[in-house]
């Protein structure tokens, strides 16, 4: 059973008050019907943040030794949601639409600030892991929005080199705009719940290794890495890929990408024989899922696979997932609008007021 959200926030975040700070915030919130008074503010953009300078992603795909990869494969299970999380999403016990909405907003902020793909992946990793452990109070939609802001803020601090202030992350016309102190409190709750394991193993951790194996231990081409980033990112949209470990997704992506770069079919069985750290059948299942969801094209012959039909630009990745994939998890709801416009006047949820 998930731990009590209110108990955790009370102990961690509001030592000065026996009531949870989130309950206090909720009393000051206003919704679209205008219930309860609120304070309206124009979001002040950080004058020191350079919007013309792309935040340099720290994905550099370093060469991995066999020992290093072995250790990372052992550790990757520490960075996954609980084993019953996917079942709870599929059964409706957890609201799938909230995950979709969070990813849509995170994608808008990602596009607005030109964050790297790993930042999106980390944000959703934190989101999924947190909600697999804690049950947020029902009926408080602002709590989910606050969680999305906190997850992106943490991910940006971990991965990006040019990071705006947390209050300035709130682009894309969100329902509420939170103050910095409130976001920080939620960040602390997320990090403590995840036991401060924020440097996680992702498919990006392994992709260079698997691409190199297919290329006879030669360093993969830059084009291979770029296309791998796009295909990995396209797996985030739905929930089906939560079934797989990051190393399994990376192995599947490497095989599909190699088929594209070599402009010919790749013998899947031969390629997987080089991958001693992953389960062959699970990698095959991941490849078939990518085909079923139209993330890649090519023959359904198990012996071969051609390259992925992923979009040429990062902004098209999630849109392609929405338009192409057949499952309800992909087609329900609209994709994020990657507008770079600044938000208008917002309803800011104040911190505890005296």
Are the CB atoms for 256 and 296 separated by under 8 Å? yes
The two structure tokens encoding residue 278: 């992953």
The two structure tokens encoding residue 37: 């008074």
Are the CB atoms for 268 and 302 separated by under 8 Å? yes
Domain limits, CATH 1.10.472.10, in the chain: 81-194
Q: How many residues are listed for the chain in this entry? A: 354
pLDDT at site 37: 28
Between 175 and 43, name the one with better pLDDT: 175
Mean pLDDT of the 260-289 span: 76
DSSP 51: T
Task: Evaluate the CA torsion angle 294, 299, 305, 306 in order and state its sign.
Answer: negative
Of the chain, the percentage scoring pLDDT greater than 70 comes to 59
The CATH number of 81-194 is: 1.10.472.10
pLDDT at site 349: 47
Residues 6+ apart with CB under 8 A from 314: 117, 229, 230, 233
Between 231 and 22, name the one with better pLDDT: 231
Residues 6+ apart with CB under 8 A from 217: none
The whole-chain average pLDDT of the chain stands at: 73
Categorize the per-residue pLDDT at 67 as very low, low, confident or very high, splitting at 50, 70 and 90: confident
Does residue 218 carry a pLDDT above 90? no
Classify domain 203-297 at the CATH class level.
mainly alpha
pTM over 0.75: no
**How many CB atoms are closer than 10 A to CB 353?**
9
Nearest Cα to Cα of residue 23 among 279, 354, 349: 349
Give the whole-angstrom CA distance, residue 263 versus residue 265: 7
Between 30 and 59, name the one with better pLDDT: 59
pLDDT at site 48: 56
pLDDT at site 195: 95
Are the CB atoms for 216 and 264 separated by under 8 Å? no
Question: At 4, which helix (H) or strand (E)?
Answer: strand 3-4
């Amino acid at each position: 059973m998930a731990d009590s959200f209110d108990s955790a926030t009370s102990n961690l975040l509001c030592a000065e008050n026996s009531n949870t700070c989130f309950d206090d915030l909720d009393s000051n919130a206003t919704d679209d019907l205008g219930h309860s008074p609120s304070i309206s503010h124009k979001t002040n953009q950080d004058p020191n943040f350079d919007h013309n300078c792309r935040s340099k992603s720290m994905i550099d795909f370093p060469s991995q030794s066999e020992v290093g990869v072995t250790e990372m494969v052992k550790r990757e299970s520490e960075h996954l949601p609980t084993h019953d999380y996917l079942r709870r999403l599929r059964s409706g016990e957890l609201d799938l639409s909230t995950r979709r909405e969070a990813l849509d907003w995170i994608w808008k902020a990602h596009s607005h600030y030109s964050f790297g793909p790993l930042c999106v992946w980390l944000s959703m990793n934190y989101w999924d892991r947190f909600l697999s452990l804690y049950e947020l109070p029902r009926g408080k939609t602002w709590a989910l929005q606050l969680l999305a802001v906190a997850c992106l803020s943490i991910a940006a601090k971990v991965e990006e080199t040019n990071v705006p202030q947390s209050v300035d992350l709130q682009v894309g016309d969100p329902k509420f705009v939170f103050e910095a102190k409130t976001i920080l409190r939620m960040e602390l709750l997320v990090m403590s719940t995840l036991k401060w394991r924020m440097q996680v193993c992702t498919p990006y951790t392994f992709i260079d290794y698997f691409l190199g194996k297919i290329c006879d231990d030669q360093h993969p081409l830059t084009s291979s890495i770029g296309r791998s980033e796009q295909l990995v990112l396209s797996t985030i949209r739905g929930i089906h890929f939560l079934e797989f470990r990051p190393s399994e997704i990376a192995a599947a992506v490497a095989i599909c990408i190699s088929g594209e770069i070599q402009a010919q079919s790749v013998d899947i069985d031969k390629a997987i024989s080089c991958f001693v750290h992953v389960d062959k059948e699970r990698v095959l299942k991941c490849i078939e899922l990518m085909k079923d969801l139209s993330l890649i094209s090519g023959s359904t012959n198990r012996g071969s696979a051609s390259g992925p039909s992923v979009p040429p630009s990062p902004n098209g990745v999630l849109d392609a997932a929405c338009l192409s994939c057949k499952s309800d998890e992909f087609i329900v709801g609209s994709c994020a609008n990657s507008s770079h416009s600044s938000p208008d006047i917002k309803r800011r949820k104040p911190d505890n007021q005296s």
